[in-house]
Amino acid sequence: MRTFKDYILLFLKGIGMGSADVVPGVSGGTIAFITGIYEELLNSINSFDAEAFRLLFSLKFKNFWAKINGGFLLPLVSGILLSAITLAKIITYFLEEHPIQLWSFFFGLIIISSISVAKEISKWNGYTVLSALVGIAIAYMVTVITPATTPNSLWFVFICGAIAICAMILPGISGSFILLILGKYAFIMSALKNFEVGTIAVFAIGCIIGLFTFSRLISWFLKKFHYYAIALLAGFMIGSLNKIWPWKKAELFRINSHGIQVPIFERNILPTDYMAETGHSPMIIQAILYMALGFMMVVIMEKIAYAIKKSNEKNHS
């Protein structure tokens, strides 16, 4: 039986997971690991089976609630949603007003996160190296072939939700990172900021279906091929750095539904060429500081995780 304090803690853990999944490079799954709820989260998600829906449609709500571990999921999901909606406004502001600083922060986050994920592999061999190289190659190819903007149609929003939500239960990679690769990060952040109900609803439905569809597969893959899966994730993150390089020059533009000119194709350039190419300051010192901030955030998270792990070991000994 959980106490009121336990529910408050679950809510706060949900806020932490939501905050992580809003920022590309930090994983909600990692936060679940750190706070000791990862296994219960997976088991709760996998509890949505035929029996659970039979109980629901039979109006046996109490049994259904117990079956899906509702007392655990409700405060956790509430915290995730609140955090995502709140932080979306902040992220959208930085995307529009301070893009170099924001992308530099993300760049640092993903570099250190990929290293942290790779450190979980205790034994490297030819297959783990191959998995990492495959991840790098796939991610890089995706960043190259994915245009700066992808369709805003609801069917594509649905697909993005189904794919991105899977990252929530993967340690090492965030749902917003997947949206970044799919070219829909800024679009979804804007929808959350402006509370566009239609877009949010379609995205949420995609998330729900994707989560229930892939959670069992992800659980099996991580358990059966753990090191290969981790190496693939680390490689995927490294290969994706091409997508979030802070210094870009827009080559092609379009006018969006609000009458604002937005880029549809951007080319990565060196910071030393940024002034000549765009007429704007590359803000190199600020970029380095924001990258360092991204590094520090992940290092602090690792320290917290280590402290919690040691505390748990001490309590069980």
**Close Cβ partners of 21 (under 8 Å, ≥ 6 residues apart):** 27, 28, 80, 84, 167, 168, 174, 175, 176
Q: What is the pLDDT of residue 164?
A: 83
Given CA atoms 152, 165, 306, 311 in this order, what sign does their dihedral have? Answer: positive
pLDDT digits (tens, 9 = 90+) for 160-212: 898 888 766 666 566 777 787 777 887 888 888 788 888 999 999 998 888 87
Asked whether residue 21 carries a pLDDT value surpassing 80, the answer given is: no
**Close Cβ partners of 268 (under 8 Å, ≥ 6 residues apart):** 242, 245, 247, 248
Pairing, β 261-268 against β 248-255: antiparallel
pLDDT digits (tens, 9 = 90+) for 219-268: 787 778 888 888 887 888 788 788 788 998 877 666 655 666 666 567 88
- Please check whether residue 96 is in contact with residue 261, taking contact to mean a CB–CB distance below 8 angstroms: no
Instruction: Calculate mean pLDDT across residues 43-68.
Output: 89
Q: What is the pLDDT of residue 135?
A: 86
Q: Which of 9-23, 26-40, 291-305 has the lowest mean pLDDT?
A: 26-40
3-state secondary structure of 134: helix
Q: What is the pLDDT of residue 309?
A: 64
Cα dist. 305→28, 36, 195, 217, 259 in Å?
13, 9, 34, 26, 46
pLDDT digits (tens, 9 = 90+) for 257-291: 566 666 656 788 999 898 988 888 999 999 999 99
Instruction: Calculate mean pLDDT across residues 105-119.
Output: 82
Which residue would you say has higher pLDDT here, 7 or 114? 7
3-state secondary structure of 312: helix
Q: What is the pLDDT of residue 260?
A: 63
The domain spans of the chain are 4-316
Q: How far apart are CA 175 and CA 266, in angstroms?
A: 23
Asked whether residue 133 carries a pLDDT value surpassing 90, the answer given is: yes
* Residue owning tokens 């932080």: 87
Instruction: Calculate mean pLDDT across residues 120-145.
Output: 84
Q: What is the pLDDT of residue 264?
A: 59
Nearest to 18 by CA among 31, 34, 6, 8: 31
Q: In this structure, what token pair is assigned to residue 216?
A: 């069992």
Q: What is the pLDDT of residue 24?
A: 62
Q: Which of 17-21, 95-99, 130-134, 208-212 has the lowest mean pLDDT?
A: 17-21
Asked whether residue 218 carries a pLDDT value surpassing 90, the answer given is: no
Q: What is the pLDDT of residue 290?
A: 92
What are 59's strand-pairing partners?
A: none
